[in-house]
Amino acid sequence: MPVLRHRLFGLRELVDDLAFRAPARLAVTVFACVIVLFAALLLTPFATADGRGASLVDALFTAVSAVCVTGLVVQDTATYWSAWGQVVILAGIKVGGFGIMTVASLLGMIVSRKIGLTQKLLTASETKTSRLGDVGSLVRVIIITATTLELSIALLLFPRFVVIENNVGTAAWHALFYGISAFNNAGFVPTVEGLTPHVGDWTLVLPLVLGVFVGALGFPVILNIQRAWPRPGQRWRGWTKKLSLHSKLTIVTSVVLLVVGALLLLVLEWSNPRTFGPLGLGDKVLASLFAGVMPRSGGFSTVDIGAMHESSWLIQDALMFVGGGSASTAGGIKVTTLAVMLLAIVAEARGDRDIEAFGRRIPRDVLRLSIAVVFTGASIVLVSCVALLQVTHLGLSQVLFEVLSAFATVGLTTGITQDLPDAGKYILALLMFVGRTGAVTVVAVLALRDRRRIVRFPEERPIIG
Amino acid sequence: MPVLRHRLFGLRELVDDLAFRAPARLAVTVFACVIVLFAALLLTPFATADGRGASLVDALFTAVSAVCVTGLVVQDTATYWSAWGQVVILAGIKVGGFGIMTVASLLGMIVSRKIGLTQKLLTASETKTSRLGDVGSLVRVIIITATTLELSIALLLFPRFVVIENNVGTAAWHALFYGISAFNNAGFVPTVEGLTPHVGDWTLVLPLVLGVFVGALGFPVILNIQRAWPRPGQRWRGWTKKLSLHSKLTIVTSVVLLVVGALLLLVLEWSNPRTFGPLGLGDKVLASLFAGVMPRSGGFSTVDIGAMHESSWLIQDALMFVGGGSASTAGGIKVTTLAVMLLAIVAEARGDRDIEAFGRRIPRDVLRLSIAVVFTGASIVLVSCVALLQVTHLGLSQVLFEVLSAFATVGLTTGITQDLPDAGKYILALLMFVGRTGAVTVVAVLALRDRRRIVRFPEERPIIG
Ligand SMILES: [K+]
Ligand SMILES: [K+]
C-alpha cells in the first residue's frame, strides 16, 4: 500500500502542478484528444448498422456530442449506429461526463485561485467550499458517486423497461443507457421513437427528471449534500445549515427555474393540439415538468419540440442559456452566475453595501467574474447565430434554439440538426466544444497576466443607463 | 431682473426638490401626460389627410412614437396625416426630445445620488461630471444648444432639398423636419418614399448621419465638448484632456460601434441583390455607414431593412440593444453601460484590482448599476418577445427586431408594424414608453429604501461559470 500511495501522490502532484500552471490549456487539450479518439472509433465501418462506416463530419459531430454530453444527433442513435457504435457513444458519455465533473471541479478551484484578485482569492480558497484539493481522492469519490447514482436511476427504470421491451437483456441495456445518459445530462436515447410514446408514464418520466436534476446540480453540491446528510442516529434538524453558500444558491435557483419554466411552458402549450393539447391534466403537468427541467441541460423530450409555439422556444432559450450548476455535466452560464447577478441587482435596488445571500456576504470580485462569463457566453451565441444564419436558410427562432442547445450542451432541437449543411454541423460541433470547455476556461485563457498596480488612478464616475 | 431671477430660482428649487424626492415618478408622470395630450391632438378629425380622424390605437401609437422619439409608424407619416397632423408629430418629437434630454440629465444626476451606496455617491456627485445641478440654466442651455444643432442640420440639408423638391417652401419644411428628426433620433420621415431613393446621395446622407450621431452622444457629452472646445486664441493641443471620463467613454464606444457595425453590415449585405448588391463601391460604403449608425437609434433607412439577411438583422439587434449615450434621445442600455461591462471583463482577465479607463478608476458600484440596467433591459425584451409572438403569427427574427426597435426607441422595422393586430400595437407602445423612461428609472423606482447594515455578514464564495 505505501507504494501505491506514493504513486498516487506522484500522479496527484503532477496533475495538480499541470492544472495549476495552465488549467485551461490542460482541460482543452484533454477534451480535444478524447474527442479525436472517439471520432476515430466511430469511423470504423462496423460502428454503423449497415457496416459501411460513417462520414467524417457525422463521426466527429457524434463524438463531440457524446463526449461533451450534448445529445444533438445528425444520425439516429438507435438505427444508424450498430450495437458497437452505441457502446462507443455510451462510453463517450461516461468518459466525457466524468472528465467534465473532474476537470470542472479542479478548474473551479484553480481558476478561482488564479483569476482576478489573486491574493484575496488565495485566502478564500482556504475555506470549505474550495477545499477539493486532494486530486486522487476527488477522482475516486467522483467515480464512485457518479456510478452509484447512474445505477440507481437505471434500477428505477429497469422494471418499466422489462414490461415495455418484454426482454430482460434489452430492458437492462436501455435502463443502463438512459441512467447514464440522464445523470450525465447527455440527452442521447437508445430507442427509435425516443420518449415521445411515454409522455404520461411517470415510472419513466420521474426517474429521468430526478437523474437529470441531480446530475445538473454539479459535483461540488452533490458532495456537499452527501457530507451534510445526517448519519444514522444524528438529528435531522438544521442539517441544511451545514450546506455551503454555493450549494444553497445552486439548489434554490435550480428549483425556482424548474418551477417557473414548467409553469410557463404549461400555460403556453396548454391548448397546442400538437403538444400538450391532447393530454389529460395529469399528463400535462408531467409533460411540463419534464419540459421544464430538460433545457438545463438534460436534452430528452417527451413532446415534439418542433411543434411547440415560438414563444415556448424562447422560454427554453432563456433556460438553456442559464444551464445548470457549476462543475456539473450541464452547460450554460450556470445557475450561480444568474443568482449572483440577481442578488447584485437586489442589493443595488435596496441600497445595500454588500451582495448578500443566506446570511453570507458574496465577495465583490465574484460579480466581475459573473459578468465576464455572461458576456462571453452571449457573444459566442451571437456570433454563432450570425454564422449559422449565413450558411443556412433557416429562421432566427430555430437557429437560436439550436445554437443555445449546442452552446449549453442541452441536445434539444426543433428538428433541424440532421438537415444542416456540413458547415453548419462543424459550427455546432465547435460550439459544443467551446460551450463544454466553458466560459470560465475562456476567461482563464485570458488570465495569463496577473498585474498589480501600486499606484491607483483617481476615481471618476460615468453615467449609466 | 432680480424678480425674474427670484422666480426662476423658485421654479428651480421646486423642480429640484420634486426631482430629488421622486425622480422616477416625476419623469414617468410627465411623459404619460405629454403623450395623452399629443394623442388627443392626433385624434382630431383634421389631423388626418382624409379628415375622418384616426383610430384611438393609431393616434396613441403615433403619439407615443413621436414623444418617445422612436419613429415606428402604423400609418404613413407623409400621406395618412394632414399638414396639421405632421406639425403635431414634429412638435411631439421636439417636446419629447427636449424632455428626454432634460429629465434624463436630471435623473442621471439624481439617481446616481440616490441609488446604491448613497454616501459614496453624494461625494462623487460633487465632481465635474455630475454638476448639472442648476436646473434653470440647464434647461436654457439645452433649448439653445438643441435648436442650434437642429437648425444647422436643416441648413446643411436645405440646398439639396431645393433641388429635389423644386420648391423653396416644401424644401424648407422637409429640411426642418429631417433636421429635428435626425438630432432627436426620432426616425420620422415627412416624404412618402423616405430616404430609399437617396441611398447614394452624400449631401443628404452625411448631414443625417452627423445629426443622428451627435444627438445620440447625449447632452452631458455635448455640453462637455462645448466647454472643452478651445476658444479663439487658445491652444488646440491637449484640449481632449479636459473631457470627462463619461464623454471619452461615450465617444470612443460610439465610434467603435459605428465602425464595427458598418463593416459587418457591409460584408453581410455586400452581394444581396435587394439591398447593397446593385450599388457601386462608394454607395455601398455610404449605405453601410448609414445602416451602421441608425440602429443607435436614428431609425432612418436608405435600404429596405426587410430585404436584408436575417444575420444582418441580428447585428442590428445587438446594436439597437446597446443604443446611444446616456441622457441622450437614443435608447437602449447605453454605450457607457456596455463600456463599463467590457472594462470590467478586461480588468478581470488582467487580474487588475480596479476597473480603469483613460487613467481613471471607475467606482465598483457603477458595475452593479450597469448589471441592473442590462438585466432589466434583457428581461423586458424577453417578456415582450414572448407576448408579441403569442399575439401574432410572426417569426422570432422579425419580432425580436421590432421589440428591440421599440425598446431602444430606434424606429427601424422589417415591415411588420402596420400589419400588427391592435394588441401588438399596444405592446409596442408600452414598450416604447418603458424603453424611453428608461431602465435606470425602473431601478430608481425600486430604490425607495436605502438600508445600511451595521453588521456585515461573513464572506463566502460561490463557484461561477
Ligand atoms: K445534454
Ligand atoms: K428613433
| A348-390 pLDDT per residue, tens | 777 777 888 888 888 777 788 788 888 888 999 999 999 999 8
Residues with Cβ–ion distance below 5 A, ligand 2? B 71, 185, 187, 297, 299, 411
Selected residue of A246, A371, A414, A464 to mutate for chain B interface (largest B Cβ count, 10 A):
A464
Contacts A327 to B, Cβ<8 Å? 463
> With 0-12 CB in 10 A as exposed, 13-18 as middle and 19+ as buried, what is B123?
exposed
Task: Enter the DSSP assignment of A317.
Answer: H
Query: For residue B331, what pLDDT is reported?
Result: 83
Confidence at residue A236, expressed as pLDDT on a 0 to 100 scale? 72
What pLDDT, in 10s, does the model give residues B353-370?
788 888 888 877 778 878
Which has more pLDDT, A307 or A262? A262
Mean of the per-residue pLDDT values of chain B: 79
Please return the burial class of B234, using the count of CB atoms within 10 Å of its CB with bins 0-12, 13-18 and 19+: exposed
- Across B184-189, average pLDDT: 84
pLDDT value, residue B134: 52
Quick check: A99 and A433 in contact, CB under 8 A?
Answer: no
φ, ψ dihedrals at B187, nearest 5°:
80, 0
Q: Could you report the per-residue pLDDT of A50-77, keeping only the tens digit for each? A: 878 888 999 999 999 998 888 888 888 8
B257-294: pLDDT as tens digits? 999 999 999 998 888 888 888 888 888 888 888 888 88
* pLDDT over 70 percentage in chain A: 80
Residue pair B226/B145 in contact by the 8 Å Cβ criterion: yes
At A278 the pLDDT is 85
Quote the CA–CA distance of B388 and B398 in Å, as a whole number. Answer: 10
Peptide bond into A55 cis (omega under 30): no
List the Cα angle B337/B382/B413 in 5-degree steps: 85
Comparison of pLDDT for A393 and A445, the residue scoring more? A393
Report whether pLDDT(A434) > 90: no
Asked if residue A382 lies in contact with residue B404, where contact means CB atoms within 8 angstroms, the answer is no
What span, in angstroms and rounded, lies between the C-alpha atoms of B127 and B149? 27
Residues B347, A337: C-beta atoms closer than 8 Å: no
**Residue B45 · residue B443 · CB < 8 Å:** no
- The answer to whether B400 and A310 are in contact (CB under 8 A) is no
CA–CA min distance A74, chain B (Å): 24
The pLDDT assigned to A345 comes to 84
pLDDT above 90 (res A447): no
- Write the residue in A327, A439, A462 that is nearest to B340 by C-beta: A462
- The verdict on A460 touching B (C-beta cutoff 8 Å) is yes
The pLDDT assigned to B6 comes to: 47
- For B258, the enclosing helix (H) or strand (E) is helix B245-269
Q: Is B254 on the interface with A (CB under 8 A)?
A: no
Q: What is the pLDDT of residue B426?
A: 92
A-facing residues of B in 225-244 (CB < 8 A) are: 244
In this complex, the residue of A348, A363, A395 whose CB is nearest that of residue B116 is A348
With CA atoms as reference, report the closest residue to A410 among A69, A28, A60.
A69
* Contact check, Cβ <8 Å, A333/B446: no
Q: Name every chain B residue with its beta carbon within 8 A of the beta carbon of A121.
A: 461
| Ligand in closest contact with the CA of A405 | 1
Q: Is the pLDDT of residue A264 over 90?
A: yes
3-state secondary structure of B459: strand
Q: Do B124 and A246 touch (CB under 8 A)?
A: no
Would you call A342 exposed, middle or buried from its count of C-beta atoms within 10 A (0-12, 13-18, 19+)?
Answer: middle
B460–A244 CB contact, under 8 Å = yes
Overall average pLDDT of the A211-237 stretch:
82
At B204 the pLDDT is 84
- Tell me how far the alpha carbon of residue A245 is from its chain's centroid: 20
**Cα–Cα dist B42/B59, whole Å:** 5
- Residue A31: the pLDDT is 81
- Residue at grid coordinates 466647454: B227
Higher pLDDT, A78 or B91: B91
Q: What is the mean pLDDT of residues B306-322?
A: 90
B315: which chain A residues are within 8 Å (Cβ-Cβ)?
Answer: 386
**Lowest-pLDDT range, A281-295, B3-17, B215-229, B287-301?**
B3-17
Percentage with pLDDT > 70 across chain B? 80
Is residue A377 helix, strand or coil? Answer: helix
Residues in B 365-394 with any Cβ partner in A closer than 8 A: 365-373, 375-376, 382, 385-386, 389-390
For residue A105, say if its preceding peptide bond is cis, omega within 30 degrees of 0. no
Q: Per the CB < 8 Å rule, is B464 touching A386? A: no
User: Which of chain A's residues have a Cβ under 8 Å away from the Cβ of B399?
Assistant: 310
Question: Which is higher by pLDDT, B137 or A392?
Answer: A392
Tell me the angle at which helices B364-391 and A364-391 cross, rounded to the nearest 10 degrees.
40
- Which residues in chain B touch residue A447, judged by CB atoms under 8 angstroms apart? 348-351
Nearest residue of chain A to residue B387 (CA atoms): A311
Residue A108 confidence class, pLDDT cut points 50, 70, 90:
low
User: How far is Cα A117 from Cα A362, in angstroms, rounded to an integer?
Assistant: 14
What is the C-alpha separation between B165 and B158, in angstroms, rounded? 10
Q: DSSP secondary-structure letter at B81? A: B
Which ligand has the nearest atom to the CA of A404? 1
Distance A41 CA to ligand 1 centre (A): 21
pLDDT digits (tens, 9 = 90+) for B64-114: 999 888 888 888 888 888 888 989 998 998 888 887 777 666 655 554 444
Q: Are B10 and B38 in contact (CB under 8 A)?
A: no
The answer to whether the Cβ–Cβ distance between A314 and B382 falls below 8 Å is yes
Contacts of B352 (CB under 8 A, 6+ apart): A451, A452, A453, B346
Tell me the pLDDT tens digit for each residue of A137-152: 667 778 888 899 999 9
ipTM over 0.90: no
* pLDDT above 80 for B449: no
Q: And the C-alpha cell for B400?
A: 425580436
Closest-CA residue of chain B to A461: B362
Mean pLDDT over residues A433-456, rounded?
57
Q: Half-sphere exposure (CA, 13 Å, Cβ side) for A260? A: 11
**Cβ atoms B71, B411 nearer than 8 A:** yes
CB B331 within 8 A of CB B297: yes
pLDDT score recorded for residue A71: 85
pLDDT tens digits, residue range A186-206? 888 887 777 777 777 888 888
Q: Which residue has the higher pLDDT, B196 or A22?
A: B196
* Residue among B326, B371, B462 minimizing CB distance to A344: B371
Q: Tell me the average pLDDT of chain A.
A: 79
What is the C-alpha to C-alpha distance for residues A451 and B7, in angstroms, rounded to an integer? 56
Asked if the model's pLDDT at residue A462 lies above 80, the reply is no
Decide: A320 and A265 in contact? Cβ < 8 Å: no
In this prediction, residue B231 has a pLDDT band, given cuts at 50, 70 and 90, of confident
Q: Which of B207, B218, B250 is nearest to B357 (CA)?
A: B250
Above 80 in pLDDT, residue A274? yes
With beta carbons less than 8 A apart as the criterion, state whether A109 and B465 touch: no
How many A from CA of B293 to the centre of ligand 1?
Answer: 40
- Contact between residue B69 and residue B409 where contact means Cβ atoms under 8 Å apart: yes
Across the interface, whether the CB atoms of B349 and A368 are under 8 A apart is answered no
C-alpha span between B296 and B212 (Å, rounded): 8
User: What was the pLDDT predicted at A459?
Assistant: 59
Helices B23-43 + B439-446 axis angle, to 10: 130
Contact B372, A355 (CB under 8 A): no
- Per-residue cell: B362: 471607475
Chain B nearest CA to A95, separation (Å):
21
Single out the residue of A181, A296, A313, A186 nearest to residue A250, CA to CA: A296
Segment A385-412 shows an average pLDDT of 90
CA–CA gap between residue A378 and residue B342 (Å, rounded):
13
* Inter-chain touch A464–B360, beta carbons under 8 Å: no
pLDDT band at A21 (very low <50, low <70, confident <90, very high): low
Under the banding of pLDDT at 50, 70 and 90, the label for residue A430 is very high
A308: left (phi over 0), alpha (psi -120 to 50) or beta: beta
Nearest C-alpha of chain A: how many angstroms from B356? 8
Q: Are A407 and A299 in contact (CB under 8 A)?
A: no
Asked if residues B296 and B69 have their Cβ atoms less than 8 Å apart, the reply is no
Enumerate the residues of chain A whose CB falls inside 8 A of the CB of residue B112.
461, 463-464
CB–CB of B185/B328 below 8 Å? yes
Residues 6+ apart with CB under 8 A from B404: B317, B320, B321, B381, B410
